[in-house]
Amino acid sequence: MASVFNETTQESYPLIPNVPLILGRKHVDRSDQRVSRAHVQITLLDDQRCFVKALSTNLCTLDNAILPKKLNQDGNEEGEEIEAFNSQWIHLLPGQLYPFRLDVPKVMTIPTPRKPLLLQQDENDGDHEDIMMDSSQEKEQQEDKSEDDWVGSNNSSIISTESSLLGSEEWSE
């Protein structure tokens, strides 16, 4: 049976096919105003695929990558559904705060390539510079840095993802 394990409280929440599970403040620290009442939605489909969607204006991560958002028809940001797999971690706040582990039937056999957006601080003026990297550049950077540096343990880098696969029609011009 599919479920979500709350590392903070040691509780498990069952995932029922086609019934979204909404996680939020009541599942962690009720006094932490950074966590919304409805922070993230997890949906298990009949075919055993699982999707995660950020509902809050505050950031939420899936395996240390910020869940992407898009503009809706009204011009407001809304979360974009991202497929999630067994043993992936959802953190309600970046910095690995309030961890939840997915226990779902579908295992990620080949990691989904993601297109990260890194913000790096310019040493001269302290401004941030957007740098887009493809998966080969990302892999080289990961090999050069330790895992702690890559995850963003310091405040100088933020990792974000797109749900699109690299090389898909959306990215080719």
Pairing outcome for strands 89-93 and 65-66: unpaired
What confidence score (pLDDT) does residue 1 get? 85
pLDDT value of position 74: 86
Looking at the structure, do residues 92 and 159 belong to the same domain, yes or no? no
Q: 137: which 2 tokens?
A: 């550049």
Beta bridge partners of 82: 52
pLDDT in tens, 139-151: 444 444 444 444 4
Task: Identify whether 108 is part of a domain.
Answer: no
Would you say residue 96 lies in a domain?
Answer: yes
Domain assignment present for 173: no
Q: Give the domain extent around 49.
A: 3-103
pLDDT score recorded for residue 24? 93
The predicted pLDDT at position 135 comes to 42
d(CA 111, CA 114): 9
Give me the count of residues in the chain: 173
Last residue of a domain, one of 82, 103, 124: 103
Contact in structure between 79 and 94 (CB atoms under 8 Å): no
Question: What is the tens place of the pLDDT at every residue in 103-135?
Answer: 998 887 766 555 443 444 444 544 444 444 444
DSSP state of 26: G
**Does 86 share its domain with 121?**
no
What's the whole-number mean pLDDT along residues 17-21?
Answer: 96
In a domain, 172, yes or no: no
User: Do 57 and 91 belong to one domain?
Assistant: yes
Alpha-carbon span 119 to 157, nearest angstrom: 5
User: Is this model's pTM higher than 0.75 or not?
Assistant: no
99 lies in the same domain as 60: yes
Residues 96 and 159 in one domain: no
- Overall average pLDDT of the 67-94 stretch: 89
CATH code at position 69: 2.60.200.20
Residue 33, exposed/middle/buried by CB under 10 A (0-12, 13-18, 19+)? exposed
Last residue of a domain, which of 103, 129, 156? 103
